[in-house]
Amino acid sequence: MMRSRTIGAVLGLLGSAAPLAAQPPQPSERVTLRYDLLDPQWLDRAVSWLTAHGAHPYLLVEGWEVPDVRIRFPDQQALQRLDDPPVFVHRGLAGPARLFDLVEQPDDAQRPSTIVRQTDTTRSQTPIELDRPRFE
């Protein structure tokens, strides 16, 4: 849940962000396009359509999903963005989740540094010593 809240908050800061994800972040005020349900020939078309309609597409994937995305969309130009540093990385107990900007930037454009959020601690607190109960 910490991952979803953190990523949902980041998406909220990105203005017109339109995330593509197999596992939509919750809670989020964004409509998420499920890339795992998208026709393999439609990734570039989806990115173009979203961009033309004022949305900024991002791909949200966990580390284990990246090879699957590359296999699912082998001929799509938008996948070149996976070779760029992600915009955001969330490192948690379930492994890293990455947010990639799918809009091609001019070669001379300065890319922002990757923001990393670390939440790899458990929610449990260290137990405290309790007095043994006495029954009389």
Q: Give the pLDDT band of residue 115 (cuts 50, 70, 90).
A: low
Q: How many domains does the chain have?
A: 1
**pLDDT tens-digit series, residues 11-40:** 766 778 888 888 776 655 667 889 999 999
Range of the domain at 65: 2-119
Would you say residue 126 lies in a domain? Answer: no
Would you say residue 129 lies in a domain? Answer: no
Tell me: pLDDT of 3 over 90.
no
Local structure of residue 55 (DSSP, 8 states): -
The pLDDT, as a whole number, for residue 33 is 86
Strands 56-62 and 17-21: parallel
Q: Over range 55-68, report the average pLDDT.
A: 90
The pLDDT, as a whole number, for residue 97 is 84
Would you say residue 134 lies in a domain? Answer: no
| 3-12, 62-71, 124-133: least confident range | 124-133
Give Cα 124 to chain centroid, integer Å: 25
pTM listed for this prediction: 0.74
Would you say residue 128 lies in a domain? Answer: no
Could you tell me which of 12, 8, 43 has the C-alpha nearest to residue 24? 8
Would you say residue 127 lies in a domain? Answer: no
Structure tokens given for 86: 């992600």
* CA gap 1, 3 in Å, rounded: 5
Give the Å distances, CA to CA, from 21 to 31, 81, 83, 131.
10, 15, 18, 49
Would you say residue 70 lies in a domain? Answer: yes
